[in-house]
Structure 1
Amino acid sequence: MSDVKKIKRGVDIKLVGEADKEFAPDKSVKTIAIKPVDFNGVRFKPVVKEGDEVKAGTPLLYHKDSEQVKFCSTVSGEVAQVVRGAKRRLLEIRVIADENIDYEDFGAADPNTLDREDIVEKMTASGCWPFLKQRPYNVVADPEKTPKAIFISGFDSAPLAPDMSLLMEGLEKEFQAGINALKKLTDGKIHLGLSARETPSPVLANAEGVTITKYDGPHPAGVVGVQIAQVDPINRGETVWTVNPEHVAIIGRLFLEGKFDARIRVAVTGSEVKDRKYHNTIIGAPVANFVKGNMTEGKNRIISGNVLTGTKLDDEGYLSIYERQITVIPEGDEPELFGWLLPKTDKFSISRTLPSWIQRKFGDKKYELDTNTHGERRAFVVSGEYEQVFPFDIYPVQLLKAVITQDIERMENLGIYEVVEEDMALCEVVCTSKMPVQSILREGLDMMRKELG
């Protein structure tokens, strides 16, 4: 029987706009983009130029500090554009997709018969390696290191999160093959977190070679960082890797079929989406495939990911590699008469200042929220609100102040190795000081990595 961990601190933000549990008709993907901004801690070197012909699995970029790690095209076709920004910063590599995808052949193999070096070589050459993220610092995993454990969160507790059973349906063989490969990369355990509140995906629940732990509690119970803190916290000098379930299946396809087959499923959610459904697509697909003609009129915010941690896009943007949903909500840039002074019931708050907390706590209230922060940045004070939604044994305000003052010793002592941006996303929501918590923490993580390695 699996262990059950109770998460007491946190909050579920119930929004209008959940996706119906059915799939929309498939749309062809005409272009894809690989975006360096998706990968923390990587210095890139392009290996293609405009007009080059590529296959799915052909390297587009490589990691300057670890040249064996390749970032590959998810389709076959022609390199359309190498997009650069200020100071020639690399922003995107776009590929015009063929109607039928042609794949590089990496050779099928049973991961149970391979040693660690063979697994690493196949994954780094094919483009599957960037799916593995390393903690501390939340960067692409270093193939030269051996993590003490690998963690997979098998459910998503974020607002409007997709149903993992639908995302993983029919992928039993692929997921198990991926687990078999991952087992060769660590001397420790493969930890799989499942929800104690809902029926888990059969694909995940029946997997072999994993240690299953169930989590009962509000968001961020489904965040992998919370699960690491509950089961095997990270100490100085230790390394843990994380990976999403859908990416484990792609790794499994690499070994079963010998190709980088980056097909995924995403949920299109949000109050401003007309037809909210699941879509079969591919990593790097254009957002227009999901939202063009499918949004209400007015100013909308398109987000690659969920409303807490996703990335703002325009309607010509591309799906980020680590995301499994697209969310569209109102922009919320209109001035608000009297602000919080009016006792409205349609505002989300963990405070009892607004009467809506009664509906949230004791009812099934769903909110139609926008991106308005309802106030400007102000003095950063200890209010006790962070601790209500932050289930770590860490002083969050003190940690952020240590980052702001660039006090590396205090950051280390206050537990920066244990957290990444998504772990503190709810702190940003409830912050009365309106602090950009996630970007502050990212600056601290980058600073620690630069100074201490």
Structure 2
Amino acid sequence: MPTDVKIKKGLKLNLKGEAENSIEQAQKPKTVALRPSNFHSLVPKMVVKEGARLKAGDEILFSKYSDKTRVVSPVSGTLKEIKRGAKRKILDVIIEADDTFEYKDFGIMDPLKTDSSEVKNRIFSTGLGIFLNQRPYNIPANAEDTPKAIYISAYDTAPLTASFEVVLQDKVEHFQTGINALTKLTGGKVYLGVDKNSISFLNDIENVELLTISGPHPAGNVGTLIHETEPMNRGERVWTINPEDVAIIGEQFNTGKFNAERTVVVTGTAAKNRKYFKSIIGAEVSSILKNDYEENSRIISGNVLTGEKIESDSFINFFSNTLTVIPEGNEHRMFGWLPFKDNNIHSASKTSLSWLFPNKKYDVNTNLNGEERALVVTGEMEEVMPLDILPMQLIKACMAGDIEKMENLGIYEVVPEDFALVEYTNTSKIEAQEIIRNGLDIMITEVG
């Protein structure tokens, strides 16, 4: 029987700009990029040099502190450039893609008929381990660890995000094989979160503990699922992975090829062609969006709550299944503080009239509608935090760098995305996600 995960605290954001459920082949990118900053805390060491010829699946770089944490090429082609910043920090590894991809052959393997140690070695030695993230800290998983459980959320409750029922509709076999492989990595359970109100092939996946999710965002966050099933304690490790990455792992086991296909949904009111596109991990944004968006817009790799602002000549982030395009909020609204001035302004409080229209959809922009203010006790953070923690107190502990208080207040249970709604709703307009990330980095350095 599935386990119900029902959340009452949170906030459902109804935004305009949803994509239609059709998939189109994106233009083949001329170049793709791997950005080490997408793998938090990873210090990269290059394996190949500029000008090197690569097959899809060839190793590009590894972690300085764990040589089993590897990143491989998503395409075949030529390593065009290694962009560096201050102190020769690697910013981007840019690969010029071939017209027809050549794949490194890893061989076919049935994970259910293979010893656990061999499956684990296959995953980490071939670069598939980079898809696994460790909680606490939300950093790349360490091959030396054995997690107490593995979590996959196939129901993203954030606004304007990809539906994994669409993304995975033609990858069911590979997804199942990927699940089979993940069961070999833990002595505990592999949890799969799905929409309780949807009946799809995801409900029939085997070798998982099914979690049926209902409630407002952040009901679908992995952190919420962990908290409701096996809460984190100090010293414990849990691994998480995105659904499409499970299918990539499964396809490599089924075919012997590393097929880095990434299905990206284009959403947001400033995007003109809102649908799903089959592309490649790290592809050029222009190969997906082209010029089908309005001027004076912001392109976000990810969703509007947790995504990263990128430029039109940049590359989509390694883990992103969503490109969101919304208008820039750089226009001043006269008397914008008046609640009846603009009925298109959404607010979680009653500072606008949106509370009178709970089902209305809003055309949002990037305007903050105010500046950063003093951090005061209002109780609004707790209204959107379903985890059993004190969000304001934890934020203050992170700002102060108080390790003991951070531990006592639940820093091991959270990652920045768990504070996305706190950041959106709080009247102080503080960068809550950045504060939590800095707090986690302190814990990595001081506690490990």
Could you say which TM-score interval applies, normalised by the shorter chain?
over 0.9
The corresponding residue for 2:417 is 422
The alignment partner of 1:92 has SS state of strand
Q: Which is further off, 349-358 or 310-319? A: 349-358
* Distance in structure 1 (CA, Å) of the matches to 2:259 and 2:289: 24
* Root mean square deviation of aligned Cα: 1.1
> Structure 1, residues 267-294: CA drift from partner, whole Å, max 9, x if none?
0000001111110111111111122210
* Distance in structure 2 (CA, Å) of the matches to 1:369 and 1:198: 27
* Distance in structure 2 (CA, Å) of the matches to 1:25 and 1:406: 47
Aligned counterpart in structure 2 of residue 324 of structure 1, from 311, 321, 326: 321
Task: Tell me by how many angstroms 1:334 deviates.
Answer: 2.1
* Distance in structure 2 (CA, Å) of the matches to 1:25 and 1:284: 16
- Superposed counterparts of 1:287-302, under 5 Å: 287-297=285-295, 299-302=296-299
Task: Tell me by how many angstroms 1:25 deviates.
Answer: 4.1
Contact 2:266 2:274 in 1 (8 A): yes
The corresponding residue for 1:167 is 167
The corresponding residue for 2:132 is 132
Contact 1:348 1:356 in 2 (8 A): yes
The corresponding residue for 1:12 is 12
1:130 partner letter = I
2:317 partner letter = S
Task: Tell me by how many angstroms 1:123 deviates.
Answer: 1.5
The corresponding residue for 1:84 is 84
* Distance in structure 1 (CA, Å) of the matches to 2:4 and 2:356: 28
Aligned counterpart in structure 1 of residue 367 of structure 2, from 372, 377, 389: 372
* Distance in structure 1 (CA, Å) of the matches to 2:116 and 2:41: 24
Gaps of 5+ in 2: none
* Distance in structure 1 (CA, Å) of the matches to 2:330 and 2:123: 44
Contact 1:127 1:260 in 2 (8 A): no
* Distance in structure 2 (CA, Å) of the matches to 1:71 and 1:234: 28
Contact 2:339 2:353 in 1 (8 A): no
The alignment partner of 2:300 has SS state of strand
Contact 1:57 1:73 in 2 (8 A): yes
Identity of aligned residues (%): 47
> Structure 1, residues 45-73: CA drift from partner, whole Å, max 9, x if none?
11122111011111111011111221011
Q: Which is further off, 24-33 or 435-444? A: 24-33
Contact 1:403 1:444 in 2 (8 A): yes
The corresponding residue for 1:210 is 208
Contact 1:35 1:93 in 2 (8 A): yes
> Structure 1, residues 376-422: CA drift from partner, whole Å, max 9, x if none?
11111121111111101000000000000110000000000000011
The corresponding residue for 2:269 is 271
The alignment partner of 2:83 has SS state of strand
Task: Tell me by how many angstroms 1:213 deviates.
Answer: 1.3
The alignment partner of 1:376 has SS state of coil
* Distance in structure 1 (CA, Å) of the matches to 2:339 and 2:413: 39
| 1:258 matched to 2:256 | yes
Contact 1:126 1:259 in 2 (8 A): no
The corresponding residue for 1:235 is 233
The corresponding residue for 2:307 is 310
- Superposed counterparts of 1:62-101, under 5 Å: 62-101=62-101
Task: Tell me by how many angstroms 1:142 deviates.
Answer: 0.6
Contact 1:74 1:262 in 2 (8 A): yes
Contact 2:221 2:418 in 1 (8 A): yes
| 1:446 matched to 2:441 | yes
The corresponding residue for 2:36 is 36
The alignment partner of 2:325 has SS state of strand
Task: Tell me by how many angstroms 1:336 deviates.
Answer: 2.4
Structure 1's consecutive aligned runs of 4 or more residues displaced over 6 angstroms after TM superposition are none
| 1:284 matched to 2:282 | yes
The corresponding residue for 1:103 is 103
The alignment partner of 1:81 has SS state of strand
Task: Tell me by how many angstroms 1:226 deviates.
Answer: 0.5
The corresponding residue for 1:118 is 118
The alignment partner of 2:383 has SS state of helix
**TM-score, normalising length: structure 2:** 0.98
The alignment partner of 1:369 has SS state of coil
The alignment partner of 1:24 has SS state of strand
* Distance in structure 2 (CA, Å) of the matches to 1:279 and 1:300: 20
* Distance in structure 2 (CA, Å) of the matches to 1:277 and 1:374: 30
Gaps of 5+ in 1: none
